[in-house]
């Protein structure tokens, strides 16, 4: 009998996935957790075949959740699902160790295909992300390394201050530089991270930062 854990903070979503899984497998033992702390507690008590994991949950730590799960149950299959843009997040979570990435906007059939693929020791990403991978490879633009590592020490300083909500003028004063210089650094940061604004920059920072890049 399959034992599956759904980690999602919205009850109606958990119910929907529970219903789909119950319809897909008989018999099946489905557990639910509304936050990451509860999920870890369940992992210490039960051995699961599959975890359906939302990346935006209370107590969650983005892709670092995968390592924490693997530390408890190394062989468990993990299907990440999210409402965030799969073009940005899917490959990152696959590289972090997830067995699959599924958009919350996927069809019921896609959910079924993804769950079965992951449980059968496969990987799952949508055809949309597969096409993106092919395009990136053909264009020679795909880089799997952490983009934060491409930033200079000064660019990291400016990025951290921008992420703290400081304006260009404030940063110039703090670093004893001209505003135009800070503007140049800001443009370089956006270009290297492939973002268009501070919000996108912060999302990239949250996604890729390690303890070496923490803002605290």
Q: In angstroms, rounded to a whole number, what is the distance separating the alpha carbons of residues 11 and 175?
A: 47
- 158-196, pLDDT tens digit by residue? 998 998 899 999 999 999 999 999 999 999 999 888 888
Tell me what pLDDT residue 139 has.
60
Q: In angstroms, rounded to a whole number, what is the distance separating the alpha carbons of residues 64 and 141?
A: 26
pTM over 0.75: no
Tell me what pLDDT residue 55 has.
85
Tell me what pLDDT residue 93 has.
86
- 42-52, pLDDT tens digit by residue? 999 999 999 99
Tell me what pLDDT residue 211 has.
44
Tell me what pLDDT residue 216 has.
46
Tell me what pLDDT residue 146 has.
73
Low-confidence ranges of the chain (pLDDT < 70): 135-145, 209-216
Tell me what pLDDT residue 136 has.
65
Q: In angstroms, rounded to a whole number, what is the distance separating the alpha carbons of residues 203 and 3?
A: 33
* Domains, the chain: 2-137 (3.40.50.2300), 147-213 (1.10.10.10)
Report percent pLDDT > 90 for the chain. Answer: 50
Tell me what pLDDT residue 17 has.
93
């Amino acid at each position: 009998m399959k034992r599956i854990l759904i980690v999602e903070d919205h009850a109606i979503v958990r119910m929907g996935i529970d219903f789909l899984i119950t319809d897909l497998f008989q018999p099946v033992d489905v557990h639910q957790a509304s936050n990451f702390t509860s999920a870890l507690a369940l992992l210490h008590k039960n051995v699961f075949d599959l975890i359906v994991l939302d990346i935006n949950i209370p107590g969650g730590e983005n892709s670092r959740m995968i390592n924490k799960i693997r530390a408890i149950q190394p062989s468990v299959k993990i299907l990440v699902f999210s409402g965030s843009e799969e073009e940005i997040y899917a490959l990152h979570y696959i590289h972090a160790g997830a067995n699959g990435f599924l958009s919350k906007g996927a069809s019921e059939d896609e959910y079924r295909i993804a769950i079965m693929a992951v449980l059968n020791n496969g990987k799952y990403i949508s055809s949309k992300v597969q096409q993106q991978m092919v395009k990136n490879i053909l264009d020679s633009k795909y880089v799997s390394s952490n983009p934060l590592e491409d930033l200079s020490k000064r660019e990291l300083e400016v990025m951290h201050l921008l992420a703290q909500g400081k304006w260009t003028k404030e940063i110039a004063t703090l670093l004893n530089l001209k505003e135009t210089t800070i503007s140049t650094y800001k443009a370089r940061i956006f270009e290297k991270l492939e973002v268009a604004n501070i919000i996108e920059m912060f999302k990239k920072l949250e996604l890729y930062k390690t303890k070496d890049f923490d803002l605290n």
